[in-house]
């Protein structure tokens, strides 16, 4: 609703669902609510948490779009705010900034407060330049407008139709017409948002959207055996993760949502857990269940799942005979209390007790569970097929929106580049930071089958298009540095970080083939090397090393770089990237068993961790502890860097933490560098927020243990 110069309200349609162009579309045609970018971050995570301040975020985002002609993605992100608001008058930018702050408590407390702020802004604006166009003349009430181009090509109000009464009057001249045209919209819009804005948060359809379609998921992984709580980087683990879910799944408000266990009561000072079973949770149809129909989960299934997990090494010390059924609950008696019970229980995949004597639950070629998809046997093609389990999606309290593909098909790729060219035997839609990122991808790919679409330069994971086949060139996350001589440590870190700067490494190592609309969830898999590096970065990196006098370790003139086990094109890509340092480079492969020894014996000068999963066994954290202890001893500056970054996180109300972890990278609990180039800090890290402790994603099964990572920093 716009107010014209005479305060007459006009009903308009900005087509917010169409404001994004074809490569940024995140709602289906005809959907008009719940558009990412206009939704507050807490609304994106869980619609039930949205309130009036969430609506005010949407008002601020819409105001930003009106005044800039740009799409309001990532307005709450501190790293990009100065750039996004650089073209706005300072008083206006302050209002939009406050309205779109990440933390709801820091926004305006009410629509009235925001309205008063906007009215005050009107008086602070400087006069318009002399060449500013006058306001459009007032049109007669009977006029209609054709649809003009959407915001992507500039705001266009359209021309009056032939039938319209186009009688116009001279618009009144008043100060600051350019900004007033937009700001006059907002006081009324704020009031309307306060009254009606909460309605979309009550719509189950708009929270997750209707998607449908088939995701063709290409894998370069071996099939592997199933595990009850598999890591996401095993194909069998992905399969189990699609069909089964952890006993618990914790929402952002700390409440258990969606999982088979409705509550966990902690008794006897933490030594007893009482697991209450949720009603209405059903297993998929499976041959081991005796017939083709689904059946409801029973306490016996929970007990069986726990026993299988314990046999497989679940780190939960239960007393002998300490698992007992009590009506619809299961009682666990622990040898000693643990604060991590929720996180541990999230790792236990619920499977039916009927598997006992029917199949080996750890090596089941036909996975079964209670999750969002059910396994379907396919005999004519070498694929794993999973179809949507409607019973799961109909759970009223499931909470967060997830990708609602009707079908997910996994197929194996012998080579990443070749695999991308034939993924799903159909069109590839590649979303990337810029055209440079696909230089290596295009080699050997049938370009007739490939569509490349650029996007905003920042990592806007929310705007991934909803397409049946989707390749996203995702971040490579690197753990740099481990120079053995402290005086050169910072130089080596800076040199490698300069070479693989954040603009380039987004796609250097990993091209993630992922379900759209679930990028922010754990365990997105798919792997393909992208070969690109900026020449000026190479020169700068070489200069840094030269000035530092780098000649390798004592008696060794080669820069030795530890990496995860790498083969084929991936290893070649990393080798080419590192060769840009203009010093001899040797790659030292480090696996779970040898990583600690390599670090402890100081056999490498730098360590690169690609996605993080390669070093991850069932318990990856001892390796991280070792890294932190090593660097704390041999690189005091690193300790100071970590502490400084930690203080900065707390000072800025952990906004960056929430954005990069809670909403994006839950599956990476490793310490990784971030912001070398952007902020000048020589180190950075990610860790999970307590609000998502033990959160198990039913799509992937990869978990985050924030307690273990936080403990690493406590060691400092």
Question: What does residue 145 show for φ and ψ, rounded to 5 degrees?
Answer: -120, 140
Identify the pLDDT of residue 481. 30
Identify the pLDDT of residue 149. 37
- Closest by CA to 517, choosing from 401, 362, 388, 691, is 401
**CA–CA dist 99, 443 (Å, integer):** 46
Measured CA to CA in angstroms, residue 619 lies from 16, 47, 133, 397, 433 at distances of 45, 33, 64, 31, 34
**CA–CA dist 588, 600 (Å, integer):** 14
Is the distance from CB of 354 to CB of 218 less than 8 angstroms? no
Quote the CATH superfamily of domain 214-412: Periplasmic binding protein-like II (3.40.190.10)
Q: Is the pLDDT of residue 165 over 80?
A: no
Pick from 86-100, 338-352, 433-447: least confident: 433-447
Identify the pLDDT of residue 544. 62
Buried b vs exposed e over 325-358: b needs ≥16 C-beta within 10 Å?
Answer: eeeebbbbbbeeebeebbbbbbbbbbbbbbbeee
Angle between helices 185-196 and 111-124 in degrees, nearest 10: 170
Going by the DSSP 8-state scheme, the letter that residue 636 receives in this structure is H
| DSSP output for 10-58 | E-----GGGSS-TTT--S-TT--S--TTTS-HHHHH-GGG--HHHHHHH
Pick from 309-323, 351-365, 628-642, 664-678: least confident: 664-678
**Residue 515 structure tokens:** 């379900």
Q: Is the pLDDT of residue 182 over 70?
A: no
Is the distance from CB of 674 to CB of 659 less than 8 angstroms? no
Is the distance from CB of 519 to CB of 485 less than 8 angstroms? no
Question: Vertex 58, ends 55 and 59: CA angle to 5°?
Answer: 90
Express each pLDDT in 635-651 by its tens digit.
555 455 545 544 554 55
- Closest by CA to 323, choosing from 338, 307, 339, 340, is 307
Distance of CA 520 to the CA centre of its chain: 2
**CA–CA dist 556, 705 (Å, integer):** 39
Cα torsion angle, 84, 90, 92, 97, sign: positive
**CA–CA dist 699, 402 (Å, integer):** 8
The overall pTM is greater than 0.85: no
More confident: 38 or 222: 38
**Residue 70 structure tokens:** 């740009």
More confident: 382 or 63: 63
User: Mean pLDDT highest for which of 115-124, 397-406, 481-490, 706-715?
Assistant: 115-124
Upper half-sphere CA count for residue 499 (Cβ side, 13 Å): 26
Torsion of CA 289, 292, 294, 295, to 10 degrees: -40
Q: Is the pLDDT of residue 125 over 70?
A: yes
More confident: 677 or 106: 106
Express each pLDDT in 354-368 by its tens digit.
988 888 877 777 889
Pick the CATH number of 2-208 from 1.10.510, 1.10.8, 3.30.590, 1.10.260: 1.10.510
Mean pLDDT of the region 574-601: 60
Strand order from edge to edge, sheet including 261-267: 261-267, 272-277, 329-334, 318-326
446 C-beta neighbours (distance < 10 Å), count? 11
Locate the domains of the chain by residue range. 2-208, 214-412, 433-715
């Amino acid at each position: 609703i716009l107010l014209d110069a005479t305060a007459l309200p006009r009903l308009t349609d900005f087509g917010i669902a169409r404001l994004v162009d074809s490569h940024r579309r995140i709602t289906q045609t005809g959907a008009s609510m719940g558009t990412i970018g206009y939704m507050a971050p807490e609304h994106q995570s869980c619609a039930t948490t949205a309130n009036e301040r969430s609506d005010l975020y949407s008002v601020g985002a819409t105001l930003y779009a009106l005044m800039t002609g740009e799409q309001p993605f990532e307005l709450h992100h501190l790293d990009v705010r100065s750039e996004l608001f650089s073209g706005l008058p300072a008083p206006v930018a302050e209002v939009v900034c406050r309205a779109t702050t990440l933390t709801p408590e820091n926004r305006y407390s009410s629509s009235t407060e925001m309205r008063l702020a906007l009215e005050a802004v009107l008086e602070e604006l400087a006069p318009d330049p002399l060449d500013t166009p006058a306001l459009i003349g007032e049109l007669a009430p009977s006029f209609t407008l054709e649809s003009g181009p959407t915001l992507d090509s500039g705001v266009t109000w359209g021309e009056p139709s032939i039938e319209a009464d186009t009688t116009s009057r001279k618009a009144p001249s008043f100060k600051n017409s350019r900004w007033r045209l937009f700001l006059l919209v907002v006081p009324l819009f704020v009031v309307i948002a306060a009254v009606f804005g909460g309605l979309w948060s009550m719509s189950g359809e708009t929270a997750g959207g209707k998607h449908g379609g088939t995701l063709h998921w290409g894998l370069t992984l071996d099939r592997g055996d199933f595990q009850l709580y598999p890591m996401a980087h095993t194909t069998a683990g992905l399969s189990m993760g699609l069909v089964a879910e952890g006993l618990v799944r914790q929402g952002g408000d700390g409440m258990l949502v969606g999982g088979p266990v409705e509550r966990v009561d902690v008794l006897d000072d933490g030594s007893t857990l009482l697991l209450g079973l949720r009603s209405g949770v059903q297993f998929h149809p499976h041959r081991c269940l005796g017939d083709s129909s689904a059946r409801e989960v029973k306490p016996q299934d929970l007990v069986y799942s726990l026993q299988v997990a314990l046999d497989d090494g679940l780190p939960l010390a239960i007393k002998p005979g300490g698992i007992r059924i009590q009506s619809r609950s299961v009682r666990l008696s622990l040898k000693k209390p643990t604060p991590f019970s929720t996180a541990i229980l999230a790792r236990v995949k619920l499977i039916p007790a009927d598997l006992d004597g029917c199949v080996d639950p750890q090596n089941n070629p036909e996975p079964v569970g209670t999750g969002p998809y059910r396994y379907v046997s396919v005999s004519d093609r070498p694929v794993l097929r999973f179809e949507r389990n409607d019973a799961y999606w109909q759970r009223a309290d499931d909470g967060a929106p997830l990708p609602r593909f009707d079908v997910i098909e996994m197929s194996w790729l012998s080579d990443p580049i070749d695999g991308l060219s034939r993924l799903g035997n159909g069109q590839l839609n590649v979303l990337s930071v810029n055209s440079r990122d696909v230089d290596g991808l295009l080699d050997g790919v049938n370009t007739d089958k490939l569509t490349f679409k650029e996007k905003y330069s920042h990592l806007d994971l929310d705007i991934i298009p909803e397409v049946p086949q989707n390749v996203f060139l995702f971040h490579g996350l690197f753990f740099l540095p481990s120079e053995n001589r402290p005086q050169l440590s910072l130089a080596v870190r800076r040199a490698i970080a300069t070479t693989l700067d954040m603009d380039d490494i987004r796609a250097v190592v990993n091209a993630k083939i992922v379900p759209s609309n679930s990028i922010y969830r754990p365990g997105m898999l798919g792997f393909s090397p992208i070969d690109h590096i900026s020449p000026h970065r190479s020169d700068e990196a070489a200069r840094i090393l030269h000035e530092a006098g780098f000649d390798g370790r004592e008696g060794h003139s080669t820069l030795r770089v530890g990496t995860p086990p790498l083969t084929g094109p991936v290893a070649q890509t990393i080798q080419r990237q590192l060769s840009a340092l203009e010093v001899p480079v040797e790659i030292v492969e480090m696996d779970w068993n040898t990583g600690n020894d390599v670090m402890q014996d100081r056999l490498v000068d730098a360590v690169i961790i690609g996605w993080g999963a390669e070093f991850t066994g069932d318990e990856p954290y001892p390796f991280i502890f070792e890294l932190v202890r090593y660097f704390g001893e041999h690189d005091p500056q690193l300790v100071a860097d970590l502490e400084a970054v930690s203080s900065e996180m707390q000072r800025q109300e952990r906004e960056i933490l929430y954005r990069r972890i809670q909403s994006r990278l839950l599956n990476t609990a490793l310490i990784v560098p971030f912001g070398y180039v952007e902020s000048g800090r020589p180190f950075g890290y990610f860790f999970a927020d307590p609000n998502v402790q033990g959160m198990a994603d039913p799509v992937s099964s990869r978990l985050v243990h924030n307690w273990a990572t936080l403990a690493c920093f406590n060691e400092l």
